[in-house]
Chain A
Amino acid sequence: MKLSRRCFLAFSIGGAAGTALSPLPWKLTDDLSIWSQNWPWTPVPPDGEYAYINTTCTLCPGHCGIRVRKVDERAVKIEGQESSGMNPGGICLLGLSGLQLLYGPTRIQAPLKRVGERGENRWQTISWEEAIEEVAGRLNDLRSKGQPQAVAALASEDTGTVPQLMKRLLTAVGSPNFYRMPSMEDSQAAVLALTQGEEGFVGMDVEQADFVLSFGSALLEGYGASPRMMQAVNRLRADGGKLAQIDSRLSNTAAKSDIWLAPKPGTEADVALSIAHVLITRNRYDHGFVSQWAEGFEAFSAMVAEKYAPEKIADRTGLATDQIISTAIAFADAKHPLAVYGKGKGQQPGSLKEALAVNALNALAGSINRPGGIQAMAGYDYIQWPALQPDDVAAAGLQTPRLDQKGDVVYPNPGYKVHRMIEAVGAGSADLQALLVAESNPCYSLPGADKVRTAFSKIPFVVSFSSFMDETAMQSDLILPNPIYLERYEDVPVKAGTTRRRVGLCRPVVAPLHNTQHVGDTIIQIAHAMEGSVAAAFPWTDYATCLKETLSDAWETLLEKGHWEVPETTHAAGADGFKTASGKFVLMNETIGAIYLADAPLPAGDESEYPLQLVAYDTIRLSSQYVGSSPFMLKILSDTTLKGQAGFVELNPETAAKLNLKEGASATITTPAGSADVRVHLDEGIRPGIVAMARGLGHTAYDGFLAGKGVNVNQLIAPVEDPASGLDAAWGSWAKLAKG
């Protein structure tokens, strides 16, 4: 028998027929379809017992109530808390993707000591005992040299037990140099103190307003507690109310507003005072409030009459006279008008003159301490610790002036002028020998980020409590990692424009994933390891005890509800008068008059060399403070903000034509602070002559999801000191753009 081709074919056909008559192909098809669902990169929710934990988000000052869904010990989803008074059911993109921060690769997993050069990212893992001993040793050294004031601390907040423990450590050591990162809160506190004599924070009753006039506040892009603000603006529009946005760029908030004015950046105070002029000259202000409660109305009227008639400021602001008049009339027509300030997300203090001018509009409309208006909120006073008994070294150190108090300003309110401390160190001052940094990333998020980094390299000892390997942690000598907000207890007093005094409880959703230690415990342990009277200032064995004792009766409420509505201890000013000397709301007095006379804080630079203005803008899709954007947020950025590794600037087509730049073109942007390669996106929603760039890109630290993408706008912006308050009021810079 000879094997022929036909025999082979017959064998094959027989084989095929036999296979078809066997279960093999059918079973294989079925199995392969199931196999295709088992690919390891397909996300599959774990199976187990579901649980929901109510806690508080600390990723931004909004401090929303959140609800975390767990399956067994794994956190699987973060939602907005329905029962939260702040953000009923709402959550922002960063809050939503918090689990990527929890389980992500940039967590610092144990205490680290720098081995290589600063910023080289070479570390050695050390024990907590060694870490505490080293910090305590360095602080003891400074005290023994009689330089306790050379220790400073920088935190993201100044209320709540953790920032207060840090401040107490400094006070016990003998240093007045506790700082909070710059914020709109600084200007708000100054305005409140100047006009109402109140030490507290500003509440904005957006929920009951029927006309909101926003001076560059990104109400729909992360201002205050962003879900609350979005819900309030949606409610406003659904009820027939109106939103007016004053913004040189057609932001999302501007796009959804009823009135949009695009003045030249930096002239917002002039616009506000010009609106005041219209209200007064047309007799459209609240006579009842002004006659009964306002002090200095005549002087204020005289000032606006002299300098702020709409036609007089038209050139300076770039707005048409009738635009200002019609906006002022719309504001006056409303029953509950509300004017708000704080540019972008409110993460910069801004100009004090502008804040006062905008607040004056609220006073003229009578929208002070009434529904739909600005509310003076008493500060939180639940932290009542025993008074400190500083020893001689500490007492001497506390007598020295703070590092940011060098330099004159019209209104030297305390505030936190972090840029002055950085400038002093950068200029070679030896007044700062040790810096403790908690929950903040100054080397990335302060204007003049490059200079901040250089200044950090001159500080002999930097300790970071960061949970992530961020730009500031990279510049540290020691990293003592804090567990992130989903792994720890903390009291979180809410400000961020809320009209309800509320302390949220941040509580562990999962057990700490890494060898981290609560910063509160770390501070207490450092203090206990120190000499002199420092240890005695911390009578608690650990942070948990301190927290429970501090909150005393409220602790049970916090555990049960997840938040505590703090009863008003002081009556908000109104029917019983204001807390000022005259008992009235101060529209104008000597100090306020001097502030109105001060120059607008303008960036340094020569307009002939730098013909454009760079404006940094905030977007809800990027985080620009301590916590970097999550991978999820970068995925949803538009191609005109970030494409691949390239960051974009937005430019009016008219400006682009003059510079011969087309959509998508590569260009180099140069400012007095630095330069960067960018690509150009043309948009008619930008005022001609302006270059807009998003905050939150251009990280050099973190991981491959975030590092090296786009440009950090803070590198291109230098701090601009407000002549009125001394706070950093930088909103942008002079700039030039050339084909790259």
Chain B
Amino acid sequence: MSSNEKHQTDGRTGDAHASSPSDPRSGPYILLFFILGLALSMVVGWSIFPKLLYSQKSQPIDFNHKLHLEQVDNGCQSCHFFREDGSFSGSPRLAQCTDCHAELLGESENEKIFVEHYVATDREVPWLVYSRQPDCVFFSHSAHVFGAKMDCETCHGPIGKSESLKPYEENRITGLSRDIWGRNIAGFKQNTWDRMKMDDCAQCHAQHDTLHDSSVQTGRDACFVCHK
């Protein structure tokens, strides 16, 4: 019985409260707090969160793509080559670099570090790969480069023209590079290489009418074409 009484008492107190919706004075405050909450969370979501999400790492040594590209005969594939079985080699291994850099060739500080720290000690350079995808993503470079005759730039951008390596922004949760989601946190892009999520694959495939019909259910590409 006493609880009922208390409830009623509370009800009466509530009626008399200064910030009752029926009280015209409380309206602006509520709106103010709503806007405050909205603004703060927008600031957090759009500005602070992306800064917190990514950590900046530098590559073990800087690399001049432009300089190297001028020296080699076969473009990107001179170093990022296809193996005999058609698989793609990705970042060059030490053995490839030492084909030319067994000893110092120039006077660059980076080359000196490379020769002393890696060539001399026979250690692989732990390159941070901007385009590394999650393990479940299967991607065939052969199908795109030889089959669809695409150039490297469409996905990787004009990295061959760069003179130094940009910092690697690592997603603290996934460990992947920021380049996969794209610089723009909202996911907008200007160039084809600005982001490399599933939608970007799908967009290009739809544009070029390269949808296959390996899925009986959807008549389109089955999930397992890319997700292995």
Contacts and interface: CB of A to CB of B under 8 A. Distances in A.
Interface of A: 1-2, 4-8, 10-19, 21-24, 27-28, 30-32, 34-35, 37-38, 42, 44, 47, 49-50
Contacts of B30: 6-7, 10
Given A1-B29, A19-B45, A22-B44, A34 B176 contact: yes
Given A7-B30, A11-B36, A14-B34, A31 B174 contact: yes
Interface stretch (B2-10, B82-90, B144-152): B82-90
A142 B16 CA distance: 109
Most chain-A CB neighbours within 10 Å: which of B29, B37, B49?
B37
Contact of A15 (B41, B49, B50, B53): B41
B37 A10 contact: yes
Nearest to B47: A22
Most chain-A CB neighbours within 10 Å: which of B18, B41, B181, B197?
B41
A2 B18 contact: yes
Contacts of B46: 22-23
B68 to A, nearest CB: 22
9 contacts: A7-B29, A14-B40, A17-B37, A22-B46, A23-B185, A28-B173, A31-B53, A44-B135, A50-B85
B19 interface: yes
Given A27-B185, A34-B174, A37-B134, A50 B87 contact: yes
B171 interface: yes
Contact of B34 (A11, A30, A35): A11
B38 interface: yes
A13 B174 contact: no
Interface in B25-83: 26, 29-31, 33-42, 44-46, 49-50, 53, 83
Contacts of A17: 34, 37-38, 41
Contacts of B90: 47
Contact of B45 (A2, A23, A37): A23
Given A15-B38, A19-B45, A49-B87, A37 B136 contact: yes
Contacts of B37: 10-18
Contacts of B186: 23
A8 B26 CA distance: 12
B187 interface: yes
A391 B38 CA distance: 99
A6 B37 CA distance: 13
A462 to B, nearest CB: 40
Nearest to B174: A34
| 3 A-B pairs closest in CB distance | A22-B45, A14-B37, A18-B41
A34 B180 CA distance: 12
Contacts of B135: 37-38, 42, 44
A15 B87 CA distance: 49
B40 A6 contact: no
Given A10-B31, A11-B33, A14-B34, A21 B42 contact: yes
Given A2-B18, A6-B30, A49-B83, A22 B41 contact: yes
Secondary structure at chain A's binding surface: helix, strand, loop or mixed? helix
B175 interface: yes
Given A14-B38, A31-B171, A2 B19 contact: yes
B174 A38 contact: yes
Contacts of A7: 19, 29-30, 33
Nearest to B21: A6
Contact of A49 (B17, B89, B175): B89
Contacts of A12: 37
Contacts of B41: 14-19, 22
Contacts of A6: 19, 21, 26, 30
A10 to B, nearest CB: 4
A35 B33 contact: no
B82 to A, nearest CB: 11
A228 B83 CA distance: 35
Contacts of B136: 37
Contacts of B44: 18-19, 22, 24
B7 to A, nearest CB: 17
Contacts of A10: 29-31, 33-34, 37
Contacts of A34: 134, 173-174, 176
A4 B135 CA distance: 50
Give the size range of B's interface with the partner: 35 or more
Given A35-B173, A37-B136, A49-B83, A27 B53 contact: yes
A30 B135 CA distance: 15
A561 B192 CA distance: 49
Contacts of B26: 4, 6
A14 B35 contact: yes
Contact of B173 (A11, A18, A31): A31
Nearest to B175: A38
Contacts of B17: 4
Most chain-B CB neighbours within 10 Å: which of A2, A24, A32, A44?
A24
A226 B223 CA distance: 38
B125 to A, nearest CB: 15
Contacts of A49: 83, 87, 89
A23 B34 contact: no
B185 to A, nearest CB: 5
Nearest to A42: B135
Nearest to A7: B33
B42 A22 contact: yes
Contact of A18 (B45, B176, B197): B45
B4 to A, nearest CB: 23
Nearest to A1: B29
Contacts of A13: 34, 37
Contacts of A23: 45-46, 49-50, 185-187
Given A18-B40, A44-B135, A24 B45 contact: yes
Contacts of A28: 173
Given A17-B37, A23-B187, A24-B49, 11 more contacts: A4-B18, A7-B19, A10-B29, A10-B31, A14-B33, A14-B38, A18-B37, A22-B45, A32-B173, A37-B135, A49-B87
Contacts of A18: 37-42, 44-45
Nearest to A17: B38
Contacts of B19: 2, 4-7
Most chain-A CB neighbours within 10 Å: which of B18, B21, B34, B35?
B34
B49 A22 contact: yes
A31 B26 CA distance: 41
Most chain-B CB neighbours within 10 Å: which of A10, A19, A38?
A10
A15 B40 contact: yes
A6 B40 CA distance: 18
Most chain-B CB neighbours within 10 Å: which of A11, A35, A37, A38?
A11
Contacts of B173: 28, 31-32, 34-35
A19 B181 CA distance: 19
Contacts of B40: 14-15, 18
Contacts of A30: 181, 197
Given A7-B30, A22-B45, A22-B46, A35 B174 contact: yes
A27 B175 CA distance: 14
Contacts of A14: 33-41
A11 B21 CA distance: 16
A404 B186 CA distance: 83
A17 B37 CA distance: 8
Contacts of B175: 38
B79 to A, nearest CB: 15
A310 to B, nearest CB: 61
A3 to B, nearest CB: 9
A107 to B, nearest CB: 24
A4 to B, nearest CB: 4
A18 to B, nearest CB: 3
A7 B27 CA distance: 9
Interface string B185-226: 111000000000100000000000000000000000000000
Contacts of A38: 134-135, 174-175
A127 B173 CA distance: 46
A7 to B, nearest CB: 4
